[in-house]
Amino acid sequence: MKIRTRFAPSPTGLLHIGNARAALFNYLFARHHGGEFLLRIEDTDRERSTQHAVDVIFDGLKWMGLDWDEEPVFQSTRQKRHEDVVQALLEKGQAYRCYCTAEELAEMREKARAEKRPPRYDGTWRDRDPSEAPKDAPYTIRLKAPQTGETIIHDLVQGDVTVANEEMDDLILLRSDGTPTYLLAVVVDDHDMDITHVIRGDDHLTNTFRQAMIYRAMGWNLPQFAHLPLIHGPDGAKLSKRHGAQSVVEFRDEGILPEALCNYLLRLGWGHGDAEILSREEQIRLFDLDGVGQSPSRMDYVKLAHINGVWLRRADDKRLTDDVLSRLRERDDVEVNDEVAHRILALMPGLKERAKNLVELTENAAFAGLKLPLRFTSKAEKFLTDEGKDILRGISEKLAALPSFTPEDIDRTLRAFAEEKDLKLGAIAQPLRAALTGTTTSPGIDLTLSALGKDEVMARIRSVTGQ
Ligand code: GLU
């Protein structure tokens, strides 16, 4: 049997990390077993399901490198099929029309509450003869759910979970406006898409019992289920805005690399020995559902930042440069052109050692494209005293005379100059760094000068010394 999983998000306008993790697990499970990973957009709520909301999902999955098989299925296009299944259930005697009015249902709930029972549909129309139906009155179609016995789900993460059937009522399959309910649509779609494993958040566990009843009523095989514990905030409370980023786009904007986010989300709730940093290939090779834990995970932003730093240092310089440039294009104090791109690429080996995320990396790289005159931090200004400027004038003469501008040439020149003036190397490097970057931190001074190039170095020094 070929394993087929699916990710079935509702397009709400953001891709929450809980959902992103479900997508990742479905993807890894399918790839590990040589199966297929499908995408279904649950867009039956037409108001919320805008093209933008759908694009957020596509973009998020692509960004995470979770490529899906086959064309995505849009649930809204399958309404006719959902209705046909309800019709089939009616014909099998597994479903019935319910003519209860909203008031009657409210009364039913009220009564149950007063009697301290859970508010469930009481089966008013379950066994009534259709001839008693009020003429032309609106109706819903409900599943004739089993009333005795129990339903057991052999969950691949949670183990066997059992519910007494008497605790469940006759769920609605088709609303009075003729639209299928979510519970029904999911079952029909999973069945028709030949889904073998449904891996999703454990907030869906109660739905699963109800969905199992629909499968049984249709005589369909159930897929295997795996319900993933939810991701909580660092304090154990429900993850919310106050904890930090929650959606894939927020993490991306904060400068998290997709491989770091995936690596982190995988480790959050799944383990394989001590393995911490795992490439996509290793993830696919090692992932299986038996490594998924049963307790809720706590989001650890510090650990994510650490993992991001690791992946940043491993990342390709050109790719990081492109990302930094796209972030720099948003700034008006920075000029982004080929020359600047070239400088940043040259600086990247030094820059990426010092940054934890792409925002920091961009911040640290920005000096390479800053328009003149620079603005100086107060720390940098301390090095631009008269004495500092004298040093700058002196060293700029030497640098100007260099026939080539490699880090080695520059290093040699700075050292010779320091020796000649009886200064420490730092006494030259600091005013230089201040004049060239506006700050007191940058990659190695030789690399910094070399990356900026002779003309730019001269221009920046001149703009400080005034000559
Ligand atoms: N559309 C549902 C959601 O976004 C998921 C349904 C499922 O995975 O079965 O929560």
Rounded Cα gap, residues 323 and 357, in angstroms? 11
Q: What is the pLDDT of residues 64-99, one digit of tens each?
A: 999 999 999 999 999 999 999 999 999 999 999 999
Closest atom of ligand 1 relative to the 190 alpha carbon:
9
Dig out the tokens for 362 from the structure.
Answer: 């961009």
- 81, two tokens: 């099929």
Across the beta sheet with 73-74, what order do the strands follow?
Answer: 73-74, 36-41, 4-7, 197-201, 224-228
Point out which residues pair with 298 in neighbouring strands: 232
CB 231 within 8 A of CB 17: yes
Q: Which residues pair with 5 in a beta bridge?
A: 37, 197
Instruction: Spell 98-127 as b/e; 16+ CB within 10 A means b.
Output: bbbeeeebeebbeeeeeeeeeeebbbebee
For 440, other C-beta atoms within 10 Å of its C-beta total: 16
Atom 2 (ligand 1): residue with closest C-alpha?
A: 9
Ligand 1: atom nearest CA of 207 is 9
| 201 Cα nearest atom in ligand 1 | 8
pLDDT recorded at residue 429:
97
Output b/e per residue, 272-286; b: 16+ Cβ within 10 A.
Answer: beeeeebebeebbeb
Gap between the Cα atoms of 307 and 341, Å rounded: 26
Q: Among 29, 78, 153, 200, which residue has the most ligand 1 atoms within 8 Å of its CB, making it the best to mutate?
A: 200
Residue 245 neighbours by CB distance under 10 Å: 19
Report helix angle 407-421 to 425-437, nearest 10: 130
Q: Which tokens belong to 364? A: 């640290």
Q: Which tokens belong to 105?
A: 């249902």
Helix (H, G, I), strand (E, B) or coil at 16: strand
CB 369 within 8 A of CB 340: yes
Q: How many angstroms does the Cα of residue 198 sit away from the middle of ligand 1?
A: 10
pTM attached to this predicted model: 0.92
* Ligand 1 pocket, Cβ-based, cut-off 6 angstroms: 8-10, 42, 186, 200, 204
Nearest CA, atom 6, ligand 1: 8
Contact assessment for residue 41 and residue 74, using Cβ atoms and an 8 Å cutoff = yes
**CA 93, CA 218: separation in Å to the nearest integer?**
11
Distance 120 CA to ligand 1 centre (A): 23
- Which pLDDT score, from 0 to 100, does residue 389 have? 97
Residues 6+ apart with CB under 8 A from 115: none
Q: Per the residue annotation, which of 80, 241, 352, 371 is the catalytic one?
A: 241
Identify which of 394, 402, 444 has the alpha carbon closest to the alpha carbon of residue 421.
Answer: 394
pLDDT for 221 equals 97
Give the residue whose CA is nearest to atom 3 of ligand 1: 9
Q: Which of 4, 42, 230 to mutate to test the pocket of ligand 1 (most atoms within 8 A of CB)?
A: 42
Q: Cα(232)–Cα(239) distance, rounded to whole angstroms?
A: 5
> Are residues 436 and 367 in contact, defined by beta-carbon separation less than 8 angstroms?
yes
Euclidean distance between CA atoms 344 and 367, whole angstroms: 9
Q: Output the CA 373–ligand 1 centroid distance in Å.
A: 54
For residue 241, indicate whether it is catalytic: yes
Quote the ligand 1 centre to 31 CA distance (angstroms): 21
What is the C-alpha separation between 99 and 173, in angstroms, rounded?
14
| 8 CA → ligand 1 middle, Å | 5
CA 403 to centroid of chain Cα atoms = 50
Residue to substitute in 186, 224, 227 for testing ligand 1 pocket (most ligand atoms within 8 angstroms of CB):
186
CB atoms closer than 10 angstroms to residue 429: 21
Task: Give yes or no for a contact between 263 and 272, defined as CB atoms under 8 angstroms apart.
Answer: no
Best mutation site among 4, 7, 10, 44 for ligand 1 pocket (most ligand atoms within 8 Å of CB): 10
- Compute how many other C-beta atoms are within 10 angstroms of the C-beta atom of residue 407: 18
Q: For ligand 1, what atom is nearest to the CA of residue 42?
A: 1
Query: How far is the C-alpha of 159 from the C-alpha of 157, rounded, in Å?
Result: 6
pLDDT given at position 45:
86
Atom of ligand 1 nearest to the CA of 19: 4
**Backbone angles phi and psi of 128, in degrees to 5:** -80, 150
Per-residue pLDDT of the chain (467 residues; tens, 9 = 90+): 899 999 999 999 999 999 999 999 999 999 999 999 999 999 998 888 899 999 999 999 999 999 999 999 999 999 999 999 999 999 999 999 999 999 999 999 999 899 988 888 988 999 898 889 898 999 999 999 999 999 999 999 999 999 999 999 999 999 999 999 999 999 999 999 999 999 999 999 999 999 999 999 999 999 999 999 999 999 999 998 899 999 999 999 999 999 999 999 999 989 888 889 999 999 999 999 999 999 999 999 999 999 999 999 999 999 999 999 999 999 999 999 999 999 999 999 999 999 999 999 999 999 999 999 999 999 999 999 999 999 999 999 999 999 999 999 999 999 999 999 999 999 999 999 999 999 999 999 999 999 999 999 999 999 999 87
In the structure encoding, which two tokens stand for residue 260, read together? 């770091």
